[in-house]
């Protein structure tokens, strides 16, 4: 069952080819959400190494930021970015739930989705650029892991699934609250520790994690009111928004 959870986490959250899980039930889904940061650990390491190599090559910090954003998009098949665009389009399209869900399922990127992609990716690139300029490459990788660590919180048991969402129905409410909070504390501690290693004040990384949680909470509250709960698109949007929040605060 743990192997199925690992396969589900890697196959869903990264571009690495893995065998499909034999069984996907709510227990497997909950474990997969807890394993999410480990599933993208190679991607986080790659992002850190890219910052170091770009710095050694003398690239401009913002160019480095754009390259890291591109790496993360390629390493996840742009899955989370698709969720961000669909969520933005849906939540700005109508106040009627059925219409909102229909827009999110359409797959087309509208003005709101395009704007969300430009703004969020721009903020991420700028945040990475600031960290690259201050020789804090290690924090970039830790921020990637923390953003995936928030998935456990988004799938904690009080959070319902959005109407008609197969992925939402599979993962929503599958993670015990205690486990979700414990996981968040672990990845927050890693962010704080990585910051201390490169002379980033502990309080700044702690504030960054706190802001990410607030951003996620606001997104989940909005999704619950408009969609009935979380969907796959909302989870993807949560990953991108929390990563942007962490990087902006740390910049």
* Domain housing 215: 2-13+21-250
User: d(Cα 61, Cα 166) in Å, to the nearest integer?
Assistant: 40
The pTM is what? Answer: 0.94
CA 62, 68, 71, 77 torsion-angle sign: negative
On whether the CB atoms of residues 209 and 139 are closer than 8 A, the answer is: no
User: d(Cα 6, Cα 36) in Å, to the nearest integer?
Assistant: 8
User: d(Cα 31, Cα 54) in Å, to the nearest integer?
Assistant: 35
User: d(Cα 176, Cα 197) in Å, to the nearest integer?
Assistant: 32
Residue 22 class from Cβ within 10 Å (0-12 exposed, 13-18 middle, 19+ buried)?
A: exposed
Residues in CB range of 112: below 8 A, 6 or more apart = 88, 89, 91, 92, 93
pLDDT greater than 70 at residue 22: yes
Give the pLDDT band of residue 104 (cuts 50, 70, 90): low
Q: What pLDDT sits at residue 29? A: 87
Q: What is the pLDDT of residues 116-143, one digit of tens each?
A: 999 999 999 999 999 999 889 999 999 9
Give the pLDDT band of residue 74 (cuts 50, 70, 90): very high
Name the domain count of the chain.
1
What are the backbone dihedrals phi and psi of residue 175, each rounded to the nearest 5 degrees, phi first?
-105, 125
Q: What pLDDT sits at residue 168? A: 77
Give the pLDDT band of residue 103 (cuts 50, 70, 90): low
- pLDDT average, residue stretch 8-22: 85
Q: What pLDDT sits at residue 54? A: 96
CA distances from 166 to 21, 98, 233, 242 (A): 16, 16, 11, 23
């Amino acid at each position: 069952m743990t192997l199925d959870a690992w396969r589900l986490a890697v196959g869903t959250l990264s571009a690495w080819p893995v065998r499909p899980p034999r069984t996907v039930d709510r227990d497997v889904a909950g474990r997969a959400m807890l394993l999410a940061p480990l599933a993208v650990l190679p991607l986080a390491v790659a992002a850190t190494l890219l910052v170091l190599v770009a710095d050694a090559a003398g690239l401009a910090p913002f160019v480095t930021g754009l390259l890291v954003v591109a790496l993360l998009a390629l390493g996840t098949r742009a899955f989370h970015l698709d969720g961000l665009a669909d969520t933005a389009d849906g939540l700005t399209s109508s106040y009627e739930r059925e219409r909102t869900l229909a827009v999110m399922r359409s797959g087309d990127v509208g003005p709101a989705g395009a704007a969300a992609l430009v703004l969020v990716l721009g903020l991420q690139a700028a945040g990475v650029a600031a960290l690259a300029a201050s020789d804090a490459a290690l924090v970039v990788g830790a921020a990637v892991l923390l953003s995936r660590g928030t998935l456990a919180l988004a799938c904690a048991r009080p959070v319902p699934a959005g109407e008609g969402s197969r992925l939402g129905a599979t993962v929503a409410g599958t993670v015990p609250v205690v486990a979700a909070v414990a996981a968040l504390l672990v990845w927050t501690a890693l962010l704080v520790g990585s910051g201390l290693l490169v002379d980033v004040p502990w309080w700044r990384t702690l504030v960054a994690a706190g802001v990410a949680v607030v951003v996620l909470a606001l997104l989940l509250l909005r999704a619950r009111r408009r969609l009935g709960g979380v969907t796959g698109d909302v989870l993807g949007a949560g990953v991108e928004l929390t990563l942007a929040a962490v990087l902006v605060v740390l910049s």
